[in-house]
Structure 1
Amino acid sequence: MSGSRSELDSVGELYAGHQQWLAGWLRQRLGCQDTAADLVQDTFMRLLARPRLFASDGDARAFLTTVAKGLCVDFWRRRQIEQAWLESVRQLDMAAVPSAERQAIIMETLLELDALFSRLPSKVANAFILSQVQGLTYRQIAEQLEVSERMVKRYMAEAMLHCALLQDDLDDDGDTLLLSEVEDD
């Protein structure tokens, strides 16, 4: 955590002055007091990680609102992924259902992949999905994306680099899971 003593004091003052307002604002959007409370904490944790001073209450609320909106999007995206995963698990034969630990690792991997794809330019992510999920050739991808095959190769190289970095992160966390392993369960 960085920041001067006055910046940290300012975060404390912001929390005291805006926590209830932000909780109400989030509760209205989320319909759940507990989730709203979690996101309030996450919002202020982000502010603590990079303290700043605000010229007015309006500036502070605008900043808190922006951070909270981003956290809401992340929350909804995670919920969608979790629901899709749970629906997939429900459709499996009981013998094929992975253990709870394995399911947690798969879910974490899915969330990491979602984060990876959301950071990639859309054409790069689309090229990767068309190749790896739909099995299209580079020529077919080029036609669909209206780019050259050479560009598709560049897109794929960028996507593969990001996947390799993600795999390294997962290896470091001890939660290694290759997508091919999901099919083996």
Structure 2
Amino acid sequence: MHAVAEPALQQQVRALYGEHHGWLHGWLRRRLGCADHAADLAHDTYLRLLVSGRTPPPGQARPHLMQIAKGLVIDRHRRQLVEQAYLDAIAAQPSALAPSPEARAIALQALLRIDAALSALAPAVREVFLLSQFDGLTYAEIAARQGIAVATVRKYMLKALEACFLAFDGDD
């Protein structure tokens, strides 16, 4: 981003914030039922505008802000579902096997990364991966169930595994 453009973008976002923050916070508060979570997501919405480097065209501010906020609400809900499923799985284990808080945080972050990677895949690819990894089906069983060739199952699995691997690319 050019140094000259940055202050202009900041001014535009500041103007949008001043004009629409109250409305966005209220919309999110009604949607989430919690003023604190609404404040966090409203903040994240404007942060996304800054990071993207783009502001909405005139007259499109509220639909644009709402679209960003809806995505953040969906992401938040997905994270909560993953976290709750993980906590439920831990609760089902004997307390002697319970992971430390640090291990829980690391595992949860890994699960969220995998969830995000799988969510970005085409539905058919994601379904093949889930049938293999969670239902334990063989490639031939998946192919028969999905009505596709075994070679397609292999191709889809490669895509899904690559997405999972890339979710952790760059970690030590």
- Identify the TM-score tier after normalising by the shorter chain: over 0.9
Q: How does 1:1-150 map to 2 (within 5 A)?
A: 3-56=5-58, 58-150=59-151
Distance 1:54 1:115 in 2: 26
RMSD (Å), alpha carbons:
1.5
Closer, same or farther: CA 67–150 of 1 in aligned 2, 3 Å? same
2:167 counterpart SS class: helix
Give the C-alpha shift of residue 4 in structure 1.
4.0
Distance 1:35 1:29 in 2: 10
Distance 2:42 2:35 in 1: 10
> Which segment drifts farther, 139-148 or 79-88?
79-88
Q: How many residues align?
A: 170
Closer, same or farther: CA 9–94 of 1 in aligned 2, 3 Å? same
Closer, same or farther: CA 72–92 of 1 in aligned 2, 3 Å? same
TM-score, normalised with respect to structure 1: 0.86
Q: Percent identity?
A: 42
Residue 155 of structure 1 corresponds to: 156
Give per-residue Cα distances to partners, 1:85-134, cap 9 Å, x unaligned: 11111111110100000000111011111101101111111111211222
Closer, same or farther: CA 54–118 of 1 in aligned 2, 3 Å? closer
Give the C-alpha shift of residue 51 in structure 1.
3.1
Distance 1:53 1:105 in 2: 35
Closer, same or farther: CA 91–47 of 1 in aligned 2, 3 Å? same
Check whether the contact 2:49–2:55 (CA below 8 A) recurs between aligned residues.
no
Q: Which structure's relative contact order is higher, taking Cα pairs within 8 Å and 6+ residues apart?
A: 1
1:39 maps to a residue whose letter is L
Closer, same or farther: CA 69–83 of 1 in aligned 2, 3 Å? same
